[in-house]
Structure 1
Amino acid sequence: MDVITKLPKINVGRISSYYEMSTCSLEDRIACEPRAKFRSIDGSCNNLRYKTWGKSFTCHRRLLPPNYADGIAQPRIAYDGGKLPNARDISSQLLPDVDVKDHRLTSMTMAFGQFIIHDITRTLPLANDIRCCPSKSAKHPECFAIDIVRSDDILVKYFNQTCINFVRSIVCNPCALGPREQQNQATHTFDMSHMYGLRLNDSLALRSFRGGKLRGSFTSSYPKEELPPKMTREDPGCNVRPKPPRFKCFETADGVRASQHPALQSLHTAFHRRHNQHAEALSRINPHWNDEKLYQESRHLMIAEVSAMIYGQYLSAIFGRRMMKHFRLGLNKHGYTRYDSKLNPSTFQEFITASGRFGHSQINDRFRVLFGEDGKTYEYNLRDNFFETTIVSLGHVSRICFFSEKISKILIPDIQSSGVLKGL
């Protein structure tokens, strides 16, 4: 317990000059503009007293102290000092697939939940090229591979895979001694950072610099249906099928994660179009505005609109009216909520690694796409469309809908077999 309570109180700046030059002195180096009208891209200066609260590339917070084996960084062990039970074995035995549809909600509920989670959290492994399988031969200290011990496991049956490559998350520098913490590369607030960028350079690369609009792309089949820009470089995470996909993944501030599946792709596309729609409308109303003004005002509107969707509709669908009223989570009909400069908006580990993952149980293994105006539909398998952008690229942005799964502890086989590998 001393590790958790006493070590963080030591002034690391007096121990090593490295900490003085690193992010520990970042607060002093950030110059905020008190009268700035628009949010910064990286989330800094939202709070003028605590400039880095909610900023991208800062640490997640904790509700409870970590439970490392050595108090510092080693993964948990059992109370008797032995190894914990195999995580994959527990998941396979306790969470069988049971198909239970929720006819109140559509699959867009799941997709929108994933969309907003990606806005506030992005915790990546140390590196993508670390190989931890087979686990017995892994040498890298950040390897934490998961062996597959059951012969009837879906990964063994269909892919002859006996080990899941698992690399620990990037360590965050909390500017203090003590237990290992993890870094959130996204901003910690609902500000559409996964669409506009985590840093200034990211945001500049996504802009067209014409009329405040974002860069886009079009297909020959649907030349008037704008999509997010397509990747110009090859990414191994997108070429997941034996045959390269017909259309490349989208280039977004969220990397390849935005192209995980068609429902999520459709939301990124819809909000991309919405930004450009705002920019075009504002330019007609205010022809004297320049590109920067149009971009920032359109971004301002987008953040407000999505925030209204979250608190006005999405959370109510998840929690219900009674809980929304009890915790005062709904939108105010008039005025504003009281601002509290001492309220830290940084995300909690417990939410982003556990409770916030409830949406995985809402995922269907098959999605329906509406064709034409006569109500005809066709189904596609989720497993065949990870990082496959064909459906959205062919113009079916608004037609991916229908039933969701009830919120439960159950995961469909497609997620049990692919979720860890694909970062869902």
Structure 2
Amino acid sequence: MSAVWNRWIGRSRSNSSTSRKRKTQNRRLRPESLEARQLLAANIFHNEAMPEDVNEDGIVSAVDALTIINQINTQTAEGQSIDGGGLQARGRGRMTDVNNDGRDSALDALMVINRLNREQGRFDPPSQQPGSGQLPGDGRNQGDDRPGEDTPADETEVRSIDGTGNNLENTELGAANTALLRVADNDYADGISEPGGEDRPSAREISNTLSAADPEGTSSERDLSSFVFMWGQFLDHDIDLSLEPEDDADAESFDIEVPTGDPLFDPFVTGEVTIHLTRSEIAEGTGTSVENPAEQVNAITAWIDGSQVYGSSEDVANSLREFEGGRMLITEDGLVPTDENGSLLAGDIRAAENIGLTSMHALFLREHNRLADEIAADNPDLTDEEIYQQAREIVIAELQSITYNEFLPALLGEDALDSYSGYDSSVDPSIANEFSTAAFRFGHTTLNDTLGFYGNDGLDVQDAVSLAQAFFNSSMLEETGIDSILKAGASTLSQETDLEVVDSLRNFLFGAPGSGGLDLVSLNIQRGRDHGLADFNSVREAYGLETFDSFAEITSDVELQEKLETLYGDVNNIDLWVGLLAEDHAAGSSLGETATTIIADQFERLRDGDRFYYENTFSGSELREIENTTLADVIERNTNNESLQSNVFFFTPTIAGTVTSDQVVAQQATNQNRNNRRSGSPSDNETTNVAMEGMEMELLDSDGNVVATAVTDSDGRYEFDSFDRTGVYSIRMASSDVDVLGEETIEVLVSSGDVHLDTMDFKVSV
């Protein structure tokens, strides 16, 4: 690629004085971005094909790291600056500057060592799959214990649209329209294809018992923003989709029984109401015997390859392109275009499900076209196809980097996934049924019941709409645009990941009950039974986790324990989706141990089994630019948003201050003055603020409601750190036993997720 590649990526936020420091895994190094002239100067001398091969002997070895260390020591001994000038001034090649930052440093040696570790990892046997003796879908056959040959992607090779050809030994791995992987043995009623769960309560009864939402809401305890579900859904639509049969003759109903007298779905107490569900399509040739049970189909590519943007077939991909300048079709106001029937032209058929999701589609259309325009301007000789593929490659790399460096650490914690050690062709990346049909549906519990529209100041630019109003209403974006929706996503807390689901999803999904309305909780449970998912404990065992002996081991919530026991009776008979969300959260994660394990396993396999994974195809400055690009960067360079926190997956504003008293100080000063007068040191007019401990402070929202309280500590300090959204807030003292000197109420604006106001001070007279 061109030496000015970093211009295509855009401005990094790493130098922003207002940005909160981004959390990264220890193995990643993120030096500051380089200017194009520095890249050009460095690349004159540098081995771009394999920069870690410092001595150019054709291999990367410990000798290369030692060469760098010796060079650093030599320059230091000679009293030279190691900023890159000394070595280049002597006219020698700059091979020791591995990372192309214009200087020789320990980072260069570390890059060689990391390359050695990755290369070594390719020849280590893969980790064994819990409960089965091998990785899910391990590519090794006939007892061969050696990993397959790990061939990296050629520089001129591009990803196929349909996912084929990524693995050179098994070209169908990860491709569209292939079977989902099953980790635990199936739980079909007949062991072949009949739905499971026949001895369990109705899915709607379980939903009514466990998932009615708290009217006050249950905000994320780990301060996850609404982007945890906005990105989660956008990402989910990149990697899995189970469809119903197209031919009605092949469609099989598996309706959900509604309890008699259900207040919303059976208000007339008929006892005959059901919620409709059609069973998922199964892979051709499966479901013929116990030895060959039914396996559902993933209709899109498994890879994180931007298929929700570009499609999973050539026909779809071509229908989305301008075929000029490498650009994608987009409306004049930067929205997802529509076809002659008014349907959205997007890479995934679900793009219109809600306006937040549609906004994400529009965002990455803009990002692709922005990149394409930059590439075309810098390389006028490139063809439309070449520009399109280069822009697509960068967009995919951004999607992967955001997922692995921001989203997954936010959701699961920093250390949930093993470190990347290079491409492994023996790894099967296929989507696990347990992942797509249960674990990755955690996001349904995190959605708020309203969707707001915020400006750069964090205030409403128009009235919020209910989530129900946002379903299949993409035309709303013609009025609102996407900027205010994306700002709102970064400026609000998500709901906690638990069994509670807001009414718009649990009772009014896509319409009112009896008028197309569905219950997403019921659908999740019933779909798991349709797919023959094993029970919660059996899945734990299949993933190498210890099984639970009691409901109390699953959750510390005594009320929830009792409800689970009433519904299921046996701890070994819990529907997987229910068990995953009932489980107490793992340390550092917003999910339980089982869901964390399933999701981490899936994303490790999607990464390690992907020959085109960005860390396997990009290096040097290009890799650093990718990893320095946050979701906030992508949003700000494609919208008018300019006040986002650096990591939009967290919403963590704080307001703090002190309460002091002059009156108490004056009394203390009088006693001191007596001593001073005895010693001949006059200080009658000197006073010092005295901290007021135990003072109760109140935080009020813009409507005057008290939303939080805090008590001052021994230093007179208080702090508020529980905010559901940006906006105008007020702080006041709750006590009436003291007189406030000055303003009794301080009004503040919380404009973004990393605003930290630390001088909201009060003085009182006792």
In the superposition, the TM-score normalised over structure 1's length comes to 0.76
Matches within 5 A, 1:372-411: 375-377=459-461, 378-400=463-485, 401=488, 402-411=492-501
Matches within 5 A, 1:204-243: 204-218=318-332, 225-233=333-341
User: Does the 8 A contact of 1:249 with 1:387 survive in 2?
Assistant: no
Which residue number in structure 2 is paired with residue 43 of structure 1? 163
**Residue 368 to residue 157, structure 1, CA distance change in 2 (3 Å):** farther
Which residue number in structure 2 is paired with residue 91 of structure 1? 207
Which residue number in structure 1 is paired with residue 253 of structure 2? 143
Matches within 5 A, 1:268-417: 268-321=361-414, 323-324=415-416, 327-328=417-418, 337-371=421-455, 375-377=459-461, 378-400=463-485, 401=488, 402-417=492-507
Shift of 1:127: 3.8
Aligned with 2:265 (options 129, 144, 155): 155
Aligned with 2:244 (options 125, 138, 141): 125
Q: How many Å separate the matches in 2 of 1:352 and 1:173?
A: 20
> What do the CA deviations read for 1:232-273 (whole angstroms, capped 9, x no partner)?
22xxxxxxxxxxxxxx44221212x11111111111110011
Q: How many Å separate the matches in 2 of 1:129 and 1:108?
A: 37
**Residue 45 to residue 340, structure 1, CA distance change in 2 (3 Å):** same
1:53 aligns with 2:167: no
Q: Which amino acid aligns with 2:348?
A: D
1:100 aligns with 2:214: no
1:154 is paired with a residue of what secondary structure? coil
User: Does the 8 A contact of 2:320 with 2:328 survive in 1?
Assistant: yes
> What do the CA deviations read for 1:336-374 (whole angstroms, capped 9, x no partner)?
x32111000000000001111111111111111114757
Shift of 1:173: 2.3
Q: Which amino acid aligns with 1:253?
A: G
**Residue 297 to residue 117, structure 1, CA distance change in 2 (3 Å):** same
Q: How many Å separate the matches in 2 of 1:107 and 1:128?
A: 38
Shift of 1:36: 5.3
> What do the CA deviations read for 1:292-328 (whole angstroms, capped 9, x no partner)?
001101100000011010001000110122x33xx32
Query: Could you list the runs of 4 or more consecutive aligned residues of structure 1 that deviate by over 6 angstroms after TM superposition?
Result: 421-424
When the two structures are aligned, how many residues end up with a matched partner?
348
Q: How many Å separate the matches in 1 of 2:247 and 2:446?
A: 28
Q: Which amino acid aligns with 1:155?
A: F
Q: How many Å separate the matches in 1 of 2:247 and 2:229?
A: 27
Q: How many Å separate the matches in 2 of 1:339 and 1:414?
A: 42
User: Does the 8 A contact of 2:355 with 2:474 survive in 1?
Assistant: yes
**Residue 388 to residue 156, structure 1, CA distance change in 2 (3 Å):** farther
Shift of 1:376: 3.1
Q: Which amino acid aligns with 1:54?
A: G
Shift of 1:69: 1.2
Aligned with 1:171 (options 282, 291, 298): 282
Q: Which amino acid aligns with 2:220?
A: D
Shift of 1:403: 2.4
Q: Which amino acid aligns with 1:61?
A: L
Shift of 1:203: 0.6
Q: Which amino acid aligns with 1:209?
A: F
1:404 is paired with a residue of what secondary structure? coil
**Residue 194 to residue 372, structure 1, CA distance change in 2 (3 Å):** closer
User: Does the 8 A contact of 1:115 with 1:267 survive in 2?
Assistant: yes
User: Does the 8 A contact of 1:364 with 1:405 survive in 2?
Assistant: yes
1:106 is paired with a residue of what secondary structure? coil
Aligned sequence identity (%)? 29
User: Does the 8 A contact of 2:309 with 2:348 survive in 1?
Assistant: yes
Q: How many Å separate the matches in 2 of 1:65 and 1:294?
A: 46
Shift of 1:283: 0.3
User: Does the 8 A contact of 2:287 with 2:295 survive in 1?
Assistant: no
Which residue number in structure 1 is paired with residue 639 of structure 2? none
**Residue 45 to residue 145, structure 1, CA distance change in 2 (3 Å):** same
Coordinate RMSD, CA, aligned = 2.6
User: Does the 8 A contact of 1:249 with 1:388 survive in 2?
Assistant: no
Structure 2 residue runs of 5 or longer lacking an equivalent are 1-152, 511-517, 525-766
Shift of 1:34: 7.1
Aligned with 1:70 (options 185, 190, 195): 190
Which residue number in structure 1 is paired with residue 298 of structure 2? 184
Q: Which amino acid aligns with 2:387?
A: L
Which residue number in structure 2 is paired with residue 21 of structure 1? none
Shift of 1:52: 0.3
Structure possessing the higher radius of gyration over alpha carbons:
2
Shift of 1:151: 2.2
Q: How many Å separate the matches in 1 of 2:436 and 2:157?
A: 30
Q: Which amino acid aligns with 1:260?
A: E
Shift of 1:391: 3.3
1:399 is paired with a residue of what secondary structure? helix
User: Does the 8 A contact of 2:338 with 2:344 survive in 1?
Assistant: yes
2:483 is paired with a residue of what secondary structure? coil
Shift of 1:229: 1.2
